[in-house]
Amino acid sequence: MTAPPDDCLARNEWICGAYLTSRRRILVDAGVQPLQLTAVSVLIGLALALPPAVPARRRGRAAGPVLEVTAILYTVPSLAMFSLLLPVYGLSVSLVVAGLVLYSPTLLVRNILAGLRITTVSAVSLVTVGAIVGFGGLGNLVYAGMNTYLKAQVLTASVLCVLIAIAADVLLLAVRRLITPWTRAARE
């Protein structure tokens, strides 16, 4: 007869310090990937959104068509977007970046600084969907943990995704306040 497991990994608990310590390197690597993919996709999205955003802001008539085209892209569900891009990019990191880039113009064209925050947080969240093609960072851990029912892995990766999104939002809010101090003074 075997003794009952005495550690949280063996008992498959949701909260498990042993999971964190034994898989620290995996968690760091998986946490870096969404940061890289988000940064690349938001920068490309910004470069693509600025040219139509400037005339749309200056000339009211241009705004309608620009906003309509970008809104259509935003309505495509993320799994469908990746599936539609699959024949072009194959199972690659480019597939994930392209999908994220296509979601960004709607948010960026409508309002550039606030849109940058929303786009960044959305990209952090959507990167996890990249797990379906193996490039989802922490999403890969969530997906694998769900398949193997490793509770600590699912919870830890999910919490880290949320923390990265919150950190990105807080950081961009601070940057916006630094570069636009007049908006803070108007509210006070």
Query: 3-state secondary structure string, 103-144?
Result: HHHHHHHHCHHHHHHHHHHHHHHHHHHHHHHCCCCHHHHHHH
Q: 3 lies in a domain? A: no
pLDDT tier at 165 (50, 70, 90 boundaries)?
very high
User: How many other CB atoms are there within 10 angstroms of residue 162's CB atom?
Assistant: 13
Q: 28 lies in a domain? A: yes
Phi, psi of 55 (to 5 degrees): -65, -30
Q: What Å distances lie between residue 56 and 20, 59, 98, 110, 116, CA to CA?
A: 48, 5, 24, 9, 17
Q: 2 lies in a domain? A: no
pLDDT of residue 170: 94
Number of domains in the chain: 1
pLDDT tier at 187 (50, 70, 90 boundaries)?
low
Across 77-97, average pLDDT: 91
CATH of the domain at 129: 1.10.3720.10
Asked if residue 162 has pLDDT above 50, the reply is: yes
Query: Which residue range forms the structural domain that includes residue 117?
Result: 8-180
Q: 188 lies in a domain? A: no
Q: Quick one: angle between helices 24-58 and 93-110, nearest 10?
A: 40
Share of the chain above pLDDT 70, in %: 93
pLDDT of residue 3: 44
Across 11-31, average pLDDT: 93
Q: Which amino acid is at 4?
A: P
Q: What Å distances lie between residue 41 and 38, 47, 88, 124, CA to CA?
A: 5, 10, 17, 10
User: How many other CB atoms are there within 10 angstroms of residue 60's CB atom?
Assistant: 8
Buried b (16+ CB within 10 A) or exposed e, 68-99: eebeeeeeeebeebbeebeeebeeebebbbbb
Q: Which two tokens stand for residue 137?
A: 């960072």
pLDDT of residue 1: 53
Rounded to the nearest integer, the mean pLDDT of the chain is 87
pLDDT tens digits along 104-152: 888 888 778 778 888 898 899 888 888 888 888 899 999 999 999 999 9
Q: 185 lies in a domain? A: no
Q: 29 lies in a domain? A: yes
Q: 176 lies in a domain? A: yes
Across 62-83, average pLDDT: 84
Q: 62 lies in a domain? A: yes
pLDDT of residue 140: 93
Q: Which two tokens stand for residue 183?
A: 């908006």
